[in-house]
Amino acid sequence: MQIALLQSEAKVMDLEANLEAVDAAARRAREDGSDLLLTPELFTCGYSPDRVRAELTAADLDRIAERAAGIARRHGISLVHSTPRIAPDGRWHISARLLDATGAEVLAYDKVHLFGAEERRAFAPGSAAPRAVAHGGMLVSLLICYDVEFPESVRAASDQGAELLLVPTALGAGFSAVPRVLVPARALESQVVVAYANHCGTESGLRMGGESVVAAADGTLLAHAGEGPEVLCATVDRAAVAAARERVPYLRDRRPDLYGRWTGCSCS
């Protein structure tokens, strides 16, 4: 499966401009042979948690969902897009959805680890574990941004059988160790492909870091963007994941019977 990652600067609360950018990226990705397009965290509304929470409406969310499904269907490409989600209890979450090439939703996930005071003011953290679904010949799962920086999140996805982990993100400048070091380490230690799509440019005064990456299950980088706008492509397949797991069997050689006891120990 060939995947494409959109790295671009969103226009905060200009839904039409952002959806047009997704549409153009989906068209280009499909023309280049990609089967799936991954877009950044909250890209459809722009990354500005306080403004998004104050200005976005339920009708806006419905419009984004309808347009995203239309983009996937029109270009015949699977699409991961990220928007807020209003739960039945009225709480707002940062969410991501995987749509298939007909525009149907096949997987959804709410961000568990919120980053910084602004996200915590605007949104509530999710609590559901990541799930994995069969899609494009692989088992696919979702995390969002800060989630991937916690080994427990990636391992939870791997424990569900995930071979490909799709991560919309909104990483600010100054944290280049995340795409360069941490994401490949997460891919290696949990033996999954990690695709990590970031914003670039400046949104509501926050300079974004770019450097979207695709890390293979052996920790090598399959693709690495610079700091500017780009549609990044990489080919992934389950045979390569299986080979990485066979070469160094981290998952098979784990000792969970011990780890539970270790967690409760107090060390000085």
**Percentage of the chain lying above the pLDDT 70 cut:** 98
pLDDT (mean) for 23-49: 98
As a whole number, the mean pLDDT across the chain is: 96
Among left, alpha and beta (phi > 0; psi -120 to 50; other), residue 62 is: alpha
pLDDT class for 7, splitting at 50, 70, 90? very high
Q: Six-digit token pair at 196? A: 């990590």
Catalytic sites, residue numbers: 41, 111, 145
Inform me whether the pLDDT recorded for 108 exceeds 60: yes
Q: Which domains occur in the chain, in start order?
A: 2-263 (3.60.110.10)
Per-residue pLDDT, 64 = 98
Question: Which residue is it, tokens 């033996």?
Answer: 191
Q: How far apart are CA 259 and CA 254, in angstroms?
A: 9
What is the DSSP secondary-structure string of the chain? Answer: -EEEEEE----TT-HHHHHHHHHHHHHHHHHTT-SEEE--TTTTT-S-HHHHHHH--HHHHHHHHHHHHHHHHHHT-EEEEEEEEE-TTS-EEEEEEEE-TTS-EEEEEE-SS--HHHHHHH-PPP-PPP-EEEETTEEEEE--GGGGGSHHHHHHHHHTT-SEEEEE--PBTT-THIIIIIHHHHHHHHT-EEEEE---SEETTEEB----EEE-TTS-EEEE--SS-EEEEEE--HHHHHHHHHHS-TTTT--HHHHHHHHT----
pLDDT class for 268, splitting at 50, 70, 90? very low
pLDDT (mean) for 34-56: 98
Per-residue pLDDT, 265 = 58
Q: How far apart are CA 12 and CA 44, in angstroms?
A: 9
Residue-wise pLDDT tens digits, 146-185: 999 999 999 999 999 999 999 999 999 999 999 999 999 9
Per-residue pLDDT, 262 = 87
Q: How far apart are CA 86 and CA 65, in angstroms?
A: 13
Inform me whether the pLDDT recorded for 267 exceeds 60: no
Inform me whether the pLDDT recorded for 266 exceeds 70: no
Q: How far apart are CA 113 and CA 124, in angstroms?
A: 10
Taken in order 228, 21, 217, 144, the sign of the CA dihedral is positive
Taken in order 120, 106, 72, 40, the sign of the CA dihedral is positive
Q: How far apart are CA 20 and CA 92, in angstroms?
A: 25
Q: Which amino acid is at 62?
A: D
> Taking a C-beta distance cutoff of 8 angstroms, is the pair 6, 24 a contact?
no
Q: What pTM did the predictor assign? A: 0.96
pLDDT (mean) for 240-244: 97
